[in-house]
Amino acid sequence: MELLSSGTSYYLNGQNLYGLKSTPELGGSREKREVTNLLDTAHRYIAGLYKYDDLIFDFYYNSAEENPNVSASQTAAAFRAARAVELSGASVQQKVEFPDGTYFTWSGQIATKIKRMEADGVMEFSIISIPNTELTYSADNVQNNG
């Protein structure tokens, strides 16, 4: 059965950040390396290393004002937590968990930016993750609905 994306979470250094709006494509592509030699009659290739693009996660920028769905500390914490990690320069654990319990994990540094704003618009920010480890997919928490 198809799943809705509702319930997807992004964890930064173990903290589930509130306000996640969108995720990037997760996974990498492998570089193609040519191994053609002088006896070959056609080009030959092998798969090289995985290459990951920057991972950009978009969030709604939330204030500390009361929100009936979450605590006040959750609403204001996402940008501040991400900004503190960015300023530290540390490489931290990151995770995206899907509604069925599967997830990707990796480590890397991050950058933050407040997105462009317009009159009467909703404030948003982005976390740009720069992986320095492989993105690892796991299905060990899969919920069995059958």
User: Which has the closest alpha carbon to 62: 20, 93, 100?
Assistant: 20
Bigger pLDDT: 65 vs 83: 83
Q: What is the pLDDT of residue 145?
A: 46
Q: What is the pLDDT of residue 48?
A: 92
**pTM for the full model?**
0.81
- Looking only at the bridges linking them, the beta strands covering 92-97 and 103-114 are antiparallel
pLDDT over threshold 90, residue 72: no
Domains in the chain: boundaries? 9-25+54-138
- Looking only at the bridges linking them, the beta strands covering 29-34 and 45-51 are antiparallel
User: Would you give the distance in Å from CA 139 to the centre of its chain?
Assistant: 17
pLDDT over threshold 70, residue 63: no
Helix, strand, or coil (residue 78): helix
In contact, 11 and 129? CB cutoff 8 Å: no
Residues 6+ apart with CB under 8 A from 55: 23, 24, 26, 128, 129, 130, 131
Mean pLDDT for 124-141 is 91
